[in-house]
C-alpha cells in the first residue's frame, strides 16, 4: 500500500506523519474486531470507574489496600484511553494517519501508565507483606502519608521513564517507510522505522524495559516469598486461608500484567512477528484492563458490598423554597 507521508527536509529526510497498517482488507473482519475491542473498552472503563467510585465513596474502604486499588483503576483508565480510541478509529476509518507529535504523545502516556502500574503493583505487594508479616506495626508503617508517597513515586517513575523513552525514540531520524505495522505507537514498531542501524538503540530500550519491568517484579517476588514463609508457620488453617485470600486477586492481576508484558518486551527480537505482537498488544491493552475489575469485584466481598451500595444509592435533591 502506498501511503502519503509528509517529509521535512533539513540535511536529512524526516517523516512528519505516520500511518497505522490496515488490520485486514476484509471489511467484515475489521468491524468484528472493532466491535469486540469497543465492548472490552466500555467494560474496562465501566468496571474501573465503578471500583474507584466505590472506594472513594465508602469510608470502610479507606485503607491502604483499597487506596492502591483505586490508583490502579485510575491507571487502567488512562492506560486504555491513551491507546484504544485511536485503535478503534484505525480499524474502521481510512483516516489511519497520526502526526509525529501525536505519536510521541501517545507513546509517552502509554509508557507512563504502564511503568506506573508496574511500580504500583510492587507497592501493593509490599502492603500485603506488611499486613500479613507485621500486623502489629501495619497501621503506623502503612500510614496515609506513606501510601501517598508510594503512589506518587509510582506515578513519578512512570512519568520520568515515559519522558526519557519518548524523547530518546523521537530524537532519531525517520526516513520512511512511515507505515506502523501495529495498532498504536509502541516502542518496538516505531524504533523499527528509524533510519540506519538501530541495534544500539534497541539494546538501550531493551535494558530500560528490563529494569523497569524486572525490578518491581523482583520486589513482588520477594514480598510474596516472605508472605508465604509467614503463612506456612501460622497455627490455624483458617488464618492461612484468610491471609492467602487477601493476596489472590493481586496475584492474578500481577500474573496477567507481567505475563503479557514480559512476553511482549523481553522476548528475543528474532521471535517477534507483527501478527503475534498485535495479538499481545490487544491482550495487554484491552483484555487485562477489562479483567482486572472483574477479578477484584468477584473475589473480594468488601468490594462487592461497596459496589452494591454505590449502585444502589439514590441521590435525592432537596427542593429549596
Model confidence at 196: pLDDT above 80: no
Looking at residue 187, its pLDDT comes to: 84
Which of these CATH numbers, 1.20.1070.10, 3.30.1950.10, 3.30.450.40, 1.10.10.410, describes 25-306?
A: 1.20.1070.10
List of long-range contacts for 52-59, beta carbons under 8 Å, 24+ apart: 52/77, 53/310, 54/303, 54/306, 54/307, 54/309, 54/310, 55/306, 57/306, 57/310, 57/313, 58/306, 58/309, 58/310
CA pair distance 157, 218, nearest whole angstrom: 16
Model confidence at 317: pLDDT above 90: no
Share above pLDDT 70 across residues of the chain, in percent, rounded to a whole number: 88
What does the pLDDT look like over 258-287, one tens digit per residue?
887 777 777 666 666 666 777 777 887 888
Whose cell is 462487592? That residue is 304
Q: What's the whole-model pTM score? A: 0.86
pLDDT higher at 136 or 312? 136
Using a 10 angstrom Cβ sphere, with 0-12 exposed, 13-18 middle and 19 or more buried, the burial of residue 89 is middle
Amino acid at each position: 500500500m502506498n501511503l502519503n507521508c509528509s517529509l521535512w527536509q533539513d540535511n536529512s529526510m524526516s517523516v512528519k506523519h505516520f500511518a497505522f497498517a490496515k488490520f485486514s482488507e476484509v471489511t467484515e473482519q475489521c468491524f468484528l474486531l472493532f466491535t469486540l475491542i469497543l465492548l472490552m473498552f466500555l467494560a474496562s472503563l465501566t468496571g474501573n470507574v465503578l471500583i474507584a467510585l466505590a472506594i472513594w465513596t465508602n469510608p470502610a474502604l479507606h485503607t491502604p489496600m483499597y487506596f492502591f486499588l483505586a490508583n490502579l483503576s485510575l491507571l487502567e483508565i488512562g492506560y486504555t484511553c491513551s491507546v484504544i480510541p485511536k485503535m478503534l478509529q484505525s480499524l474502521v476509518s481510512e483516516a489511519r494517519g497520526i502526526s509525529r507529535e501525536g505519536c510521541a504523545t501517545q507513546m509517552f502516556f502509554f509508557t507512563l501508565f504502564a511503568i506506573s502500574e508496574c511500580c504500583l503493583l510492587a507497592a501493593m505487594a509490599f502492603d500485603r507483606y506488611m499486613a500479613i508479616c507485621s500486623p502489629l506495626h501495619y497501621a503506623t508503617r502503612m500510614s496515609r502519608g506513606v501510601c501517598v508517597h508510594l503512589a506518587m513515586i509510582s506515578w513519578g517513575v512512570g512519568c520520568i521513564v515515559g519522558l526519557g523513552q519518548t524523547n530518546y525514540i523521537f530524537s532519531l531520524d525517520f526516513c520512511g517507510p512511515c507505515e506502523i505495522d501495529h495498532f498504536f505507537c509502541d516502542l518496538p514498531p516505531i524504533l523499527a522505522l528509524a533510519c540506519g542501524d538501530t541495534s544500539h538503540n534497541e539494546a538501550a530500550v531493551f535494558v530500560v524495559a528490563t529494569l523497569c519491568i524486572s525490578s518491581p517484579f523482583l520486589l513482588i517476588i520477594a514480598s510474596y516469598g516472605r508472605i508465604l514463609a509467614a503463612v506456612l508457620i501460622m497455627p490455624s488453617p483458617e488464618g492461612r486461608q484468610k491471609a492467602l485470600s487477601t493476596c489472590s486477586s493481586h496475584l492474578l492481576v500481577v500474573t496477567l500484567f507481567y505475563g503479557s508484558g514480559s512476553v511482549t518486551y523481553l522476548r528475543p527480537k528474532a521471535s517477534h512477528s507483527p501478527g503475534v505482537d498485535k495479538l499481545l498488544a490487544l491482550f495487554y491493552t484491552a483484555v487485562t484492563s477489562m479483567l482486572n475489575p472483574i477479578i477484584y469485584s468477584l473475589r473480594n466481598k468488601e468490594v462487592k458490598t461497596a459496589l452494591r451500595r454505590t449502585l444502589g444509592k439514590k441521590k435525592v435533591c432537596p427542593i429549596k423554597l
